[in-house]
Structure 1
């Protein structure tokens, strides 16, 4: 069935996640739209606003939906879907940033992520866009910027999902990221159709890492040694593991990583999971619950604590928490040719898509 849509602001969506859903007012209903209709209420309610998100809803997970005249009535007599029962957060397949035109109005959205592969590929990019401070259109996608987080590539980059050549990505990176004064160029390419673009960037001198998007269905499980922890408690662990992986990293860069996760926690439900030994975290991961779709990883374990099953425990706990939250898809990204891909496959994750992470100096 065609998805239904509900308009929210970024802050409004975070409140929906905290409440677990949207309750209709007494005697009233939750306003919904079809994809063909949604530009009309968006222009009426949110003209010119750049913090609007589309909640992509599975109609089979909704109760009490009736098609009725709009408020105000549409000039052509359209009838809109109205939900007279609670809209649960678990009915939200995806949350997509919805940006206005220069004149403040909105265009009908493009293809909406409803399949498992689409939802898994789009969940992290959408969270990063909502957490970013600035966004500009580029060929085939958008560029995002997060002032104060200049050392985090994941907060300042191009997201390319539509058609774009290597030359266009290269030029857009210089024009936009260079215009923002960033000392690097980073682009994430999502989808098999961009394989040629990735090869072209490599030919132009970019370092290009092939990645796979993997997804799993949440399953029941118990991991009693895993606990949810405050973000600040992970600083010693993440500092140690990042310095092992990147010897030149400094304290400011690690701090920006933590602050970046805090910025994401302001726009979605972020859980920090850890295993302790001797009272101190020795293994940890991050779970982001964004409606019915969750994002998981990466896993970090201190070298001295590896081989003790902490990674298995964290995966089990993350899948259980996602299940409790009503998720039916948990996604992660892994390097296409590295061993974690096979490790995750043994734990129920299957490859559902391809992407590329490309970077070069300014």
Structure 2
């Protein structure tokens, strides 16, 4: 989808998307057309160590720039927001061994749901369920990698003005489904991310309840623009569409390693 820079709502989504990555980073390295978000505490987390191109950039320079800024890492990851920059970057990056995919930025257009019954939890309560989930999502992942992916939640506390980790529990008190909610009421935006359901509780409605909780709380916080990101190649974006989300734009993702 072509970006519309004069669309105020889309501009707010882009600003929130870039701001999320800037604010959670331990250090930011600027370059023409974007920045590197870096955190040496979580070197196995691509979400904490990558380039984000959110302006005019030199496509031919991106492979070398990624090597320079991410050379200490076992991976390379480059997000490109603008379609034209992404199209021009694809050849140079694919020649350098990168694969391509797309992340959908999805805006909630449906009615605000009733509270789903979820409640705030802290990182400690999610540590066990998250560790188990990562081993399910990435079979063969090392203990160190799991540690980085789970503990990066601490960095995300700085990603918005108001960060809430929400969960829905079973009748026995077990965490069944959880999600992150990033609120910036001053600009009216809310980002919902990392919705996960424990394997033992799939298909029982818990994901819908925790999503409803996040949407309800976002509206309650006067965030009129509520959005999330979803991998275009995987099924959850279809589920989000049934929950009232529509695709507002795409972000191009180039990865290696």
- Same-fold status (TM-score > 0.5): yes
Residue among 210, 214, 219 paired with 1:318 = 214
- Compute the TM-score of the two structures, normalised by the length of structure 1: 0.64
Hey, what does 2:85 align to over in structure 1? 194
Sort the Cα spacing of 1:247 and 1:241 in 2 relative to 1 into closer, same or farther, 3 A.
same
Whether 1:173 aligns to 2:66 is yes
Residues 1:282 and 2:183 are matched in the alignment = no
**What pairs up with 1:1-362 in 2 under 5 angstroms?**
115-178=8-71, 181-197=72-88, 199-200=90-91, 201-217=93-109, 219-268=111-160, 269-277=162-170, 278-291=172-185, 292-361=188-257
- 8 A Cα contact 1:218 1:320, kept in partner: no
Give the SS at the match of 1:298.
Answer: strand
Root-mean-square deviation over aligned CA pairs: 2.1
How many Å separate the matches in 1 of 2:179 and 2:21? Answer: 17
**Structure 2 Cα separation of the partners of residues 251 and 233 of structure 1:** 19
Query: CA contact under 8 A between 2:44 and 2:74: conserved in structure 1?
Result: no
- Greater percentage in helix: 2
Cα deviations by residue, 1:165-185 (Å, 9 ceiling, x for unpaired): 54321111012222xx22221
Number of aligned positions between the proteins: 248
Q: CA 1:267–1:185 in structure 2 vs 1: closer, same or farther (change >3 Å)? A: closer
Relative contact order, CA 8 A, sep 6+: which one is greater?
Answer: 2
TM superposition shift of 1:113: 8.7
Q: Distance between the aligned counterparts of 2:20 and 2:147, measured in 1?
A: 20
* Partner Cα separation in structure 2 for residue 326 and residue 218 of structure 1: 16
Q: Distance in 2 between matches of 1:353 and 1:220?
A: 21
- In the TM superposition, residue 134 of structure 1 has moved relative to its aligned partner by 1.9
Q: Is the 8 A contact 1:271 1:286 kept in 2?
A: yes
SS class of match (2:101):
strand
CA distance in 2, matches of 1:189, 1:275: 34
TM-score, length-normalised on structure 2? 0.88
- Please list every run of at least 4 consecutive aligned residues from structure 1 whose deviation after the TM superposition is greater than 3 angstroms: 217-220
